[in-house]
Structure 1
Amino acid sequence: MLEVHNLNVYYGAIHALQGISFHVEEGEIVTLIGANGAGKSTTLRTISGLLRTRTGYIRYKGRDITNTPAQEIVKMGISHVPEGRKIFAPLTVRENLLMGAYTRNDPNEIQRTMERVFASFPRLKERINQLGGTLSGGEQQMLAMGRGLMSRPTLLLLDEPSMGLSPILVEEIFRIIQEINQQGTSILLVEQNAHMALSIAHRAYVLETGRIVLSGTAKEVAENPMVKAAYLGV
Structure 2
Amino acid sequence: MLVLQDVNVYYGAIHALKGISMEVNEGEIVTLIGSNGAGKSTSLKTISGLLRPKEGNIKFNGIDLAHVPPQKIVSLGISQVPEGRRVFTNMSVLENLELGAYLRKEKSEIKKDIEKVYSLFPRLLERKGQLAGTLSGGEQQMLAMGRALMSRPKLVLLDEPSMGLAPILVKQIFSIIQEINKTGTTVLLVEQNAHMALSIADRAYVLETGKIVLSGSANELESSEEVRKAYLGG
Considering the TM-score relative to the shorter chain, is it more than 0.5? yes
Distance in 2, matches of 1:182 and 1:107, equals: 25
Q: Considering only aligned residues, what root-mean-square deviation do their CA atoms show, in Å?
A: 0.5
Distance in 2, matches of 1:67 and 1:33, equals: 27
Contact 1:53 1:67 in 2 (8 A): no
Deviating runs (4+, > 4 A) in structure 1?
A: none
AA at the equivalent of 2:4: V
Alignment of structure 1 residues 130-169 onto 2, 5 Å: 130-169=130-169
Q: CA offset at residue 26 of structure 1?
A: 0.4
Distance in 2, matches of 1:183 and 1:119, equals: 13
Percentage of identical aligned residues: 66
The match for 1:231 is 231
> Which secondary structure does the structure 2 equivalent of 1:156 belong to?
strand
Normalising by structure 2, we get a TM-score of 0.99
Q: CA offset at residue 199 of structure 1?
A: 0.0
The match for 1:23 is 23
Q: CA offset at residue 67 of structure 1?
A: 3.1
Q: CA offset at residue 65 of structure 1?
A: 1.2
> Which secondary structure does the structure 2 equivalent of 1:7 belong to?
strand
AA at the equivalent of 2:196: M
AA at the equivalent of 1:148: A
The match for 2:111 is 111
The match for 2:127 is 127
Q: CA offset at residue 63 of structure 1?
A: 1.2
> Which secondary structure does the structure 2 equivalent of 1:3 belong to?
strand
Q: Deviations over 1:182-218 (max 9, x none)?
A: 0000000000000000000000000000000000000
Q: Deviations over 1:61-102 (max 9, x none)?
A: 111112310000000000000000000000000000011100
Contact 1:194 1:232 in 2 (8 A): yes
The match for 2:8 is 8
> Which secondary structure does the structure 1 equivalent of 2:86 belong to?
coil
Alignment of structure 1 residues 192-203 onto 2, 5 Å: 192-203=192-203
Distance in 1, matches of 2:56 and 2:203, equals: 22
- Unpaired runs of 5+ residues, structure 1, are none
> Which secondary structure does the structure 1 equivalent of 2:204 belong to?
strand
> Which secondary structure does the structure 1 equivalent of 2:38 belong to?
coil
> Which secondary structure does the structure 2 equivalent of 1:21 belong to?
strand
Normalising by structure 1, we get a TM-score of 0.99
Distance in 1, matches of 2:111 and 2:20, equals: 39
Q: CA offset at residue 143 of structure 1?
A: 0.2
Distance in 2, matches of 1:40 and 1:131, equals: 30
